[in-house]
Structure formats: structure tokens, C-alpha cells
Amino acid sequence: MDCPVCKIELNKKSIKGIEVDECEKCEGIWCDNDELKQVKDKTDSDLNWMDFDIWKHPERFKAKSAKNHCPNCKQAMDVLDYDNTKIEIDYCKQCKGTWLDKNELENIIAALEEELLTKSVNDYVKATVEEAKELISNPESFLSEWKDFSTILRFLQYRILSLHPEIHDTMVSFQKNPFNR
């Protein structure tokens, strides 16, 4: 498989135990279908429930034609602008592979972490409800969905406690002496 930018052979590389293909010249990375999600999840486990699944949320991506062709199936790729970030990725609709230029993986992780930290209580409540639906409908394994649900609840708790430190103080006080009300 050749680099869509430099046209030289890609080398295998392991990122957090996930094998991807990398160009030694431009340092771009090719992720086969679902590898980008796997790398994201292994890089920061708090991001597991945050989907960077292009086909799951097409409204979050603005597509335009790319000059590059897929290194896997040779089809023309699309350039996708992810949500409100300045991240552009090349995506193959045919095989669902993703080409990331140098530093785009790090930029994706940073954008998702920023999104995680800036969500409101309302955003977390909505996400909790959505994850509860997925837990019941079980599109992935129950354990995977339970981990996602638990993570969202933890961040909802963090957000509430950061906005209302008096709740935290009351909880700590109660834990220290539960019978002295």
C-alpha cells in the first residue's frame, strides 16, 4: 500500500497496540475501517463513549472532494472537516479508511478532550440518556456499553460537583459522620 501523498510504500506501525500504516516521509497515518476509533479509545479511555465515527454522525462532518486516492482501494477520497474544529481528514467512503496527515491524530484527541471538558450538565444528561438507550438496544457488547455509560455518569458527576461545590462538601461531611445529621 502506498502513501496517498508521497506515493511511497507505507510501513506498519503500532499505536497503542493497534496496527496502522505510516509514511516515513510525511508521517501521515492510514487507519483501516474502525482503527481510528480503536486508537482513540486506547489513547484516552475517557473518550471511549465519544464517537469519532464518521458514518454515525455525518451531520458533524462537512465533506469536499480530495485530491488523494485511497491507498487501500484506489477510490477518490473525501476531505472531511470535523465539526467546529480545524481538523481535516481524508476519508474513503468505499472501504471506510481514514488518512491522517502528520499530527492530525493528536489534534483529534485534543479536540475530543476539549469537548469532554467543556460539555454542560445538560449535554451530559443528554449523553447519559443516549448511552442508556444504547445499553438497552445493545449495538455493541454489554460490557462496552456499560463502560461508556459509567464514564458518562462519572463526568456528569464531575460537572455537577464543579458547578456546585457545596454538594461535594455535604457528601464529604456525611461520609465522615453519617449519623450526625
Burial class (CB in 10 A: 0-12, 13-18, 19+), 145: buried
The residues, any chain, with a CB within 8 Å of residue 158's CB and separated by 6 or more, are none
Domain positions in the chain are 11-118, 121-176
Q: Is the dihedral of CA 102, 104, 105, 110 positive or negative?
A: positive
DSSP state of 29: E
Q: How far apart are the C-alpha atoms of 11 and 173, rounded to whole Å?
A: 57
22-36, 49-63, 133-147: least confident range:
49-63
Q: What's the pLDDT at 73?
A: 93
| Whether the predicted model's global pTM rises above the 0.85 cut | no
Mean pLDDT of 159-180: 80
Distance from C-alpha of 8 to C-alpha of 75, rounded to nearest angstrom: 17
Pairing of strands 61-69, 76-82: antiparallel
Q: What is the pLDDT of residues 123-155, one digit of tens each?
A: 889 988 988 888 888 767 788 788 888 888 888
The share of the chain scoring above pLDDT 70, in percent, equals 88
* Greater pLDDT, 64 or 129: 129
